[in-house]
């Protein structure tokens, strides 16, 4: 701002738009003057490069009259040429050794070869019309510079010849908004529907696009020049000063109302003038001329100052290259200021609107605003109604409520959406299929709703949900689908709402292309693709109408049970039982309804018939359930008992197959007599005496056996003596041998006392295991007895209920048949119980056998 006051006058005090009271029209004028000032500043920059006024007028006529594109191009050619090689010798001194007589210093000579290269850049900046670069070519700047490069290798540091891609800048926007007398004629058409704000309109968008193109061109060209300036080395040129620092930028958005008599600015010497503007709070055009004059002066001064620094015209970094770098950087700054100025106007409008409202609004706030504004716009007859309806019969209390609600995105409380409604109670019947063989036809009240949904910045502030609620002891059915025609309903989902249920289903609306969008999209399709697109759109349109059908359950039950209208209103328990039987067991209605021949009975008698039918069916279900429970219990006990028997068998088998120790084999029961112990010992020694286990052995038999053994041993020894007379073999007395054997048997008998206690402990442990098993067996038998008693009680209860039903006042052949059937069913479970009891007895016998 100090520089602005220096350019104008010290007493002048222009301010930014946010600090000055102004009108909305002033913002449009500010946007127009910003663009015009940027165009004039770009004209100053192009003039500094070398574009003349005649060239600008020639190119302007080609753009306005011939409607041709005009482009500025930067074209460069790069080359690297080998010049020569030079050898040079360098001396390297090492450390010096000093003695008392002399000092010795080592000197090493090294010869290296330097390769000299000549790097050349030749470039030009020119404008052309159309697509041919040679068509009406106007050159602004042409230059060539070289630099000497030194390398240590023979390989070229850069390609011998290279042509970088050209950099093009379109000038169509600037020349399009220049008149024949070189005046900037940029204006914003405020009457167009697309014009929203000074920033959001067609003309401003074109200006921003042109500024972005200039910004990109200048950035790429500046990067290319900086890369070329970094190639040579060994110079002292101030390459870092090749920018537009210190150059005044005239694209400023300032407000100040002053008298035109005191203004001194003029377009003299400027390639582009600004034209006339109406009086406003924006800085006057003459003040902007002063800014442009200062911009031109500072830019030319910057370029002139570089002439004394870059004196060599043949060097790579010469004065034309420095001038081009400064001008390109200045064009970059001008485009940036223009973009910032237009965005500032939009931000100022945003801040003022937030200040006026008091907060930043979003999609949810916009939804509530439209909801309020609709109530203001429409009259009472056409005002949208809340989509919330009670589910009720005539002259009855509602059984529930059904609504489509909008849930705020922030998670607040939901509320019914407002829709345009058309109501009718007349019309043709509507059908919907229950399956392949059944179809339902219904009549009733009909509501046609229309809802207009809004988005704010592409976001919807709410989510739609379908909400169905039922009161206690109430129920109704909700079907959701689509309506392809006036007499057809295609349900996709169904739900039963009952007993305080609250069901919420999200609705996800999907937008389809409008008719205009569809016509524009299918213009260039083939006939086959067009037919397919039309057919698919027809399917989409047929499914755009959401249909919701609400069916009350109690009136339909009354018709199916052949009861008078309203008879189930206070029969809450009966209604719940009927619904449970219908939904749980799919009971045919003929089993529950009043027979047709009893149509003349009173309402009370009909109700009694239905109640008895419901109780009979409920008793049968209870009987079957108890029977299933009993069977499961008995099967469980049977499995547990079989498992116990299996475990006992395995334990017994392990005990039998377990190898006995030597002590157990030699041990004899203490209760056995001497003869039995001798007999057992004889058996273990393999003697000739063999007796059964249950046969008693006397003393005479034992003595006889001993004598036989002695005689047999004596005979064998005599035969051996006669055969071996020459052998000196010491013979033993057979009597002594027998006596020795008997002594050994006596010693073995002595060990019986040692093992007696061990055998007694094992026997007691086995007896304890057998007693425990018998106790467990008795417990299982007692539990089975209790279960059978419970089953017998349930059968008696079911039989009593059925006998009560059969002995009613409305006794008929139908009831007699049912009584006979119940008696047969009474016999059937008795047989089942007998079978189970027989299985249990068989199981007990198997356990007894296993124990034995």
Q: Flag whether 821 is in a domain.
A: no
Of 842 and 168, the one with more pLDDT: 168
Any idea what DSSP says for residue 597?
Answer: G
Give Cβ neighbours of residue 777 (< 8 Å, ≥ 6 apart): 844, 847
Q: Flag whether 456 is in a domain.
A: yes
Element at 473 (helix H, strand E): none
The verdict on 345 and 386 lying in the same domain is: no
pLDDT in tens, 51-84: 888 888 889 888 888 888 999 999 999 999 998 8
- Yes or no: say if 459 and 363 are a contact pair by the CB < 8 Å rule: yes
pLDDT in tens, 408-438: 877 778 889 888 888 888 888 899 888 777 8
The verdict on 351 and 391 lying in the same domain is: no
- Yes or no: say if 824 and 799 are a contact pair by the CB < 8 Å rule: no
The verdict on 419 and 338 lying in the same domain is: no
Of 587 and 343, the one with more pLDDT: 343
Q: What is the pLDDT of residue 829?
A: 45
The verdict on 44 and 124 lying in the same domain is: yes
Q: What is the pLDDT of residue 452?
A: 83
Residue 38: band (very low, low, confident or very high) from pLDDT cuts 50, 70, 90: very high
Of 659 and 424, the one with more pLDDT: 424
Q: What is the pLDDT of residue 687?
A: 44
Of 197 and 15, the one with more pLDDT: 197
Q: Over pLDDT 70: what percentage of the chain?
A: 75
Residues in the chain: 852
Query: Cα separation of 300 and 47, whole Å?
Result: 10
Q: Over pLDDT 90: what percentage of the chain?
A: 26
The verdict on 160 and 27 lying in the same domain is: yes
- As a whole number, the mean pLDDT across the chain is 79
Element at 143 (helix H, strand E): strand 138-151
pLDDT at 529 over 90: yes
- Yes or no: say if 274 and 23 are a contact pair by the CB < 8 Å rule: no
The verdict on 138 and 259 lying in the same domain is: yes
How far apart are the two ends of the chain, measured CA to CA in Å? 119
Write down the residue that tokens 């200021």 correspond to: 337
The verdict on 462 and 509 lying in the same domain is: yes
pLDDT at 332 over 90: yes
Structure tokens at 394: 């005539």
Q: What is the pLDDT of residue 763?
A: 64
The verdict on 288 and 213 lying in the same domain is: yes
Span 43-51, average pLDDT: 91
The verdict on 250 and 338 lying in the same domain is: yes
pLDDT at 341 over 90: yes
**C-alpha distances out from residue 306 to 240, 323, 331, Å:** 12, 8, 18
Please, what is the angle between helix 24-49 and helix 53-64, to 10°? 120
Neighbours of 190 (CB within 10 A): 11
Q: How many domains does the chain have?
A: 2
**Low-confidence winner among 143-152, 410-419, 784-793 (lowest mean pLDDT):** 784-793
**Low-confidence winner among 105-109, 631-635, 763-767 (lowest mean pLDDT):** 763-767
Q: Flag whether 751 is in a domain.
A: no
Structure tokens at 130: 């159309």
pLDDT at 831 over 60: no
Residue 539: band (very low, low, confident or very high) from pLDDT cuts 50, 70, 90: confident
Q: What is the pLDDT of residue 455?
A: 80
Span 477-494, average pLDDT: 88
Residue 37: band (very low, low, confident or very high) from pLDDT cuts 50, 70, 90: very high
Q: Flag whether 585 is in a domain.
A: no
Q: What count of Cα atoms within 13 Å lies in the side-chain half-sphere of residue 107?
A: 4
Neighbours of 538 (CB within 10 A): 9
Q: What is the pLDDT of residue 467?
A: 92
Radius of gyration of the chain (CA): 58
pLDDT at 823 over 60: no
Structure tokens at 730: 């010491």
3-state helix, strand, coil in the chain (%, to 5): 50, 20, 30
pLDDT in tens, 683-725: 444 444 444 434 444 445 545 555 565 556 556 555 554 554 4
pLDDT in tens, 262-272: 677 788 889 99
**Low-confidence winner among 267-271, 525-529, 740-744 (lowest mean pLDDT):** 740-744
The verdict on 229 and 150 lying in the same domain is: yes
Span 427-451, average pLDDT: 86
Query: Cα separation of 741 and 679, whole Å?
Result: 14
Strand segments (E) across 314-445: 385-386, 388-391, 400-408, 415-416, 418-424, 430-433, 439-442
- Yes or no: say if 228 and 328 are a contact pair by the CB < 8 Å rule: no
**C-alpha distances out from residue 632 to 234, 646, 787, 789, 794, Å:** 103, 21, 11, 15, 15
Residue 799: band (very low, low, confident or very high) from pLDDT cuts 50, 70, 90: low
The verdict on 162 and 271 lying in the same domain is: yes
- Yes or no: say if 188 and 201 are a contact pair by the CB < 8 Å rule: yes
pLDDT at 292 over 50: yes
Please work out, in degrees rounded to the nearest 5, the angle formed at the alpha carbon of residue 289 by the alpha carbons of 287 and 291: 75
Q: What count of Cα atoms within 13 Å lies in the side-chain half-sphere of residue 245?
A: 4
Q: Flag whether 596 is in a domain.
A: no
pLDDT at 625 over 90: no
Give backbone dihedrals phi and psi of 508, rounded to 5 degrees, phi first. Answer: -115, 90
- Yes or no: say if 332 and 77 are a contact pair by the CB < 8 Å rule: no
Among candidate residues 596, 41, 622, the one with its CA nearest the CA of residue 333: 41
Judging by DSSP bridges, how do beta strands 462-470 and 502-507 pair with one another? antiparallel
Q: Flag whether 519 is in a domain.
A: yes
Q: What is the pLDDT of residue 679?
A: 44
Structure tokens at 619: 């008793």
Q: Flag whether 597 is in a domain.
A: no
Most confident of the following: 182-196, 276-290, 579-593 = 182-196
Query: Cα separation of 357 and 376, whole Å?
Result: 19
- Domain span holding position 394: 380-560
Choosing from 338, 355, 372, the residue where a domain stops is 355
**pTM for this entry:** 0.62
Choosing from 538, 560, 582, the residue where a domain stops is 560
Q: Flag whether 725 is in a domain.
A: no
Of 663 and 388, the one with more pLDDT: 388
Span 767-771, average pLDDT: 67
Query: Cα separation of 466 and 33, whole Å?
Result: 55
pLDDT at 286 over 50: yes
Q: What is the pLDDT of residue 680?
A: 44
Q: What is the pLDDT of residue 806?
A: 45
Query: What single string gives the DSSP state of each residue in 278-326?
Result: -S-SBPPHHHHHHHHHHHHHHHHHHHHHHHTT---TTBSS-HHHHHHHH
The verdict on 387 and 321 lying in the same domain is: no
pLDDT at 652 over 80: no
């Amino acid at each position: 701002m100090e520089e602005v006051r220096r350019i104008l006058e010290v007493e002048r005090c222009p301010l930014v738009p946010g600090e000055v009271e102004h009108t909305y029209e002033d913002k449009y004028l500010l946007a127009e003057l910003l663009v015009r000032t940027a165009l004039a500043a770009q004209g100053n920059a192009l003039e500094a490069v070398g574009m003349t006024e005649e060239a600008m007028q020639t190119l302007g006529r080609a753009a306005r009259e011939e409607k041709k594109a005009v482009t500025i191009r930067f074209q460069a050619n790069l080359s690297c040429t080998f010049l020569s090689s030079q050898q040079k010798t360098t001396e390297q001194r090492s450390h010096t050794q000093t003695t008392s007589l002399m000092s010795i210093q080592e000197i090493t000579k090294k010869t290296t070869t330097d390769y000299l290269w000549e790097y050349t850049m030749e470039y030009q900046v020119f404008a052309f019309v159309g697509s041919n670069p040679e068509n009406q070519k106007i050159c602004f700047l042409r230059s060539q510079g070289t630099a000497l490069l030194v390398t240590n290798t023979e390989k070229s540091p850069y390609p011998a010849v290279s042509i970088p891609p050209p950099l093009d800048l379109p000038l169509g926007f600037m020349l399009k908004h220049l008149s024949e007398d070189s005046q900037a004629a940029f204006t914003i058409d405020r009457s167009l529907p697309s014009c929203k704000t000074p920033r959001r309109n067609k003309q401003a968008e074109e200006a921003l696009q042109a500024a972005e193109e200039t910004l990109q061109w200048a950035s790429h060209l500046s990067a290319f020049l900086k890369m070329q300036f970094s190639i040579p080395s060994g110079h002292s040129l101030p390459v870092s000063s090749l920018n537009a620092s210190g150059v005044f930028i005239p694209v400023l958005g300032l407000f100040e109302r002053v008298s035109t008599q005191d203004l001194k600015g003029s377009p003299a010497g400027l390639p582009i003038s600004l034209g006339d503007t109406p009086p406003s709070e924006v800085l006057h055009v003459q003040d902007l001329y002063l800014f442009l004059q200062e911009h031109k002066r500072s830019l030319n001064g910057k370029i002139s100052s570089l002439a004394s620094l870059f004196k060599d015209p043949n060097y790579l970094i010469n004065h034309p290259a420095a001038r081009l770098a400064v001008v390109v950087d200045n064009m970059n700054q001008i485009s940036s200021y223009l973009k910032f100025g237009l965005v500032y106007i939009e931000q100022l409008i945003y801040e003022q609107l937030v200040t006026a409202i008091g907060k930043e609004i979003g999609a949810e706030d916009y939804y509530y605003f439209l909801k309020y504004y609709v109530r203001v716009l429409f009259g009472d007859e056409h005002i949208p109604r809340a989509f919330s309806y009670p589910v009720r019969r005539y002259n009855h209390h509602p059984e529930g409520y059904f609504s489509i609600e909008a849930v705020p995105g922030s998670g607040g409380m939901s509320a019914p959406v407002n829709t345009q409604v058309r109501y009718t109670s007349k019309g043709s019947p509507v059908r919907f299929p229950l399956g392949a063989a059944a179809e339902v036809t219904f009549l009733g009240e009909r509501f046609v709703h229309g809802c207009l949904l809004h988005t704010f910045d592409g976001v919807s502030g709410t989510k739609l949900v379908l909400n169905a609620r039922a009161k206690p002891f109430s129920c109704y059915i909700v079907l959701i689908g689509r309506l392809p025609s006036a007499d057809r309903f295609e349900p996709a989902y169904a739900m039963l709402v009952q007993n305080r249920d609250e069901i919420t289903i999200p609705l996800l609306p999907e937008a389809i292309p409008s008719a205009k969008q569809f016509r524009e999209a299918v213009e260039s399709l083939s006939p086959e693709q067009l037919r397919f697109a039309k057919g698919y759109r027809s399917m989409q349109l047929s499914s755009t109408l959401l249909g919701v059908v609400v069916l009350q359950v109690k009136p339909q039950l009354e018709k199916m049970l052949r009861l008078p209208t309203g008879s189930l209103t206070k029969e809450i328990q009966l209604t719940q039982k009927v619904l449970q039987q219908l939904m749980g067991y799919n009971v045919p209605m003929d089993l529950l309804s009043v027979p047709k021949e009893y149509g003349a009975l009173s309402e009370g008698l009909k109700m009694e018939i239905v109640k008895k039918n419901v109780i009979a069916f409920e008793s049968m279900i209870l009987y079957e359930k108890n029977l299933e429970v009993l069977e499961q219990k008995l099967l469980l006990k049977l499995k547990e008992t079989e498992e116990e028997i299996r475990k006992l068998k395995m334990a017994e088998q392990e005990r039998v197959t377990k190898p006995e120790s030597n002590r157990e084999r030699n041990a004899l029961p203490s209760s056995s007599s001497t003869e039995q112990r001798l007999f057992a010992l004889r058996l273990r020694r393999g003697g000739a005496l063999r007796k059964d286990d249950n046969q008693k052995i006397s003393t005479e038999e034992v003595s006889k056996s001993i004598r036989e053994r002695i005689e047999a041993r004596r005979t064998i020894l005599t035969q051996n003596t006669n055969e071996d007379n020459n052998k000196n073999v010491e013979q033993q007395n057979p009597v002594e041998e027998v006596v020795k054997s008997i002594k050994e048997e006596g010693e073995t008998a002595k060990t019986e006392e040692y093992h007696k206690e061990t055998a007694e402990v094992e026997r007691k442990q086995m007896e304890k295991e057998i007693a425990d098993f018998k106790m467990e067996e008795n417990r299982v038998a007692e539990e089975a007895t209790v279960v059978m008693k419970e089953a017998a009680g349930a059968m008696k209860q079911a039989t009593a209920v059925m006998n009560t039903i059969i002995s009613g006042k409305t006794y008929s052949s139908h009831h007699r048949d049912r009584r006979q059937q119940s008696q047969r069913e009474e016999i059937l479970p008795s047989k089942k119980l007998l079978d189970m009891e027989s299985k249990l007895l068989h199981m007990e016998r198997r356990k007894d056998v296993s124990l034995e």
